[in-house]
Amino acid sequence: MSLFCKTLALKSPPFLLTISRLLSSSTAFDPPTSSSYDEQVAAAGRSRDFEALHRLLNQRYKDGCFNTKKTFKFITDTIEHDETLIPDLIQTLSRLDSGFARKNAFDSLVSHLCKTNRVDDSVRVIAAMVRGEYGVNATTFHPLLNALTRKRRIDEAWRIIAMMKESGTNVDVTAYNYVLTAHCVEGEAELAAEVVERIEAEGLRADARTYDAAAMGCCRVGRVEGAVAVVRRMAEEGVPALYSTHAHVIKGLVGLAGWREAVDYVRVVGGRDVLLDRENFGFLGSVLVRRRRVVEAKMVFDEMGERGLDVGEKLRREYVALLEASKSRFE
């Protein structure tokens, strides 16, 4: 045995004991987490300790603990009682380290304000980002456009898009998708068509969300064949359809054309992706169950079984309940 091995053998017991004590020590250092930083940020925000807030927002990025949807949650319960809070936050965030730390903090603040219906305050924050050249881009505006279009404040959404252009921000297809979806939800076909024309005029490429909104819009105005054409166009363009896109078509076919056409559609688009087949057949089955179409639902569920598709516990319970209710009517 070498001298090194003999020495290690002689010293192993106390050495291992030391390691054991270190590993089992209750005073071991706990690495920082995004959750722990959120708690500290909340405490600093509630107490209006903006120096501590500045330090924490800088340090969490250095520790790899990015901001979360809870980072600025302390604003929700206090903003109505403190008109200076947003200006103070803007000033604090403006002093953060340049680059991702500052931009991400601003973007997180904008997102939180939009989720809590503080749209006007979010516009003020974005305006400050533009003035300070703090990395504002299309992603910064998305939460604001989402909030406005969900509340049908379409004119304001268009003003925000104009603001994007004035600030030198490239308006992406996602920005237009928010407006397009809002029109399609309401079945406003002509207005939706105008948005699509603008997307094409600006040289933007339609994505899955664009097509999804178009399919929904077609179904809302009773043109299910148009929605089927949208899905066909997606296949030609190599754009994978979202589950929701197929759901729009399936629901539209059941409502207007009949369940047989819906089954034919699911079969035509199926056979390539097991998850998609399970989703489409399952959705069709759920629609038929809700409409209490016993015979048709049974055929769909039987086919799911033949294809080896998992029904899902919730849908299975609903289907069994429908069958039992149907039997009881004839007893």
The half-sphere exposure of 127 on its side-chain side, counting CA atoms within 13 A, is 10
- Check residue 29 and give its pLDDT: 59
Structure tokens at 56: 């924490």
Mean pLDDT within 142-166: 97
Cβ-based neighbour number of residue 105 at 10 Å: 28
Q: Where are the domains of the chain?
A: 34-137, 172-257, 259-331
Q: In sequence order, what are the residues at sequence separation of 6 or more whose Cβ sits closer than 8 angstroms to the Cβ of residue 57? A: 41, 67, 92, 93, 96, 101, 105
Range with the poorest average pLDDT among 37-41, 246-250, 254-258, 292-296: 254-258
Q: What is the DSSP code string of 41-96?
A: HHHHHHTT-HHHHHHHHHHHHHTT----TTTTGGGTTTGGG-TTHHHHHHHHHHTS
What is the number of other CB atoms lying within 10 angstroms of the CB of residue 312?
Answer: 15
The span from the CA of 210 to the CA of 48, in Å, is 43
Retrieve residue 304's tokens. 């799911």
Burial, 139: exposed, middle or buried (Cβ in 10 Å; 0-12, 13-18, 19+)?
middle
**For residue 116, what pLDDT is reported?**
92
Residue 279 pLDDT greater than 50, yes or no: yes
Which token pair is 314?
């919730």
Which pLDDT score, from 0 to 100, does residue 77 have?
59
Computed over every residue of the chain, the mean pLDDT equals 89
d(CA 264, CA 159) in angstroms, rounded, equals 44
Does 21 score more than 60 pLDDT?
no
pLDDT confidence bin for 328, thresholds 50/70/90: low
pLDDT band at 7 (very low <50, low <70, confident <90, very high): very low
> How is residue 191 written in tokens?
């207005």
pLDDT tens digit string along 63-115?
999 999 999 999 975 555 678 899 999 999 999 999 999 999 999 999 999 99
Over residues 225-242, the mean pLDDT reads 95
CB 166 within 8 Å of CB 182: no
pLDDT at 284 over 50: yes
What's the token pair of residue 246? 């197929």
DSSP letter, residue 112: H
Confidence at 331, pLDDT banded by 50, 70, 90: low
Crossing angle for the helix pair 50-62 and 34-46, to the nearest 10 degrees: 170
Burial 172-183 (b: 16+ CB within 10 A, else e): bbbbbbbbbbbb
Where does the pLDDT of residue 327 fall: very low under 50, low under 70, confident under 90, or very high at 90 and above? confident
Q: Which two tokens stand for residue 245?
A: 């896109």
Confidence at residue 83, expressed as pLDDT on a 0 to 100 scale: 80
Write out pLDDT tens, residues 185-212: 999 999 999 999 999 999 999 999 999 9
Mean pLDDT of 173-180: 98
Report whether pLDDT(8) > 50.
no
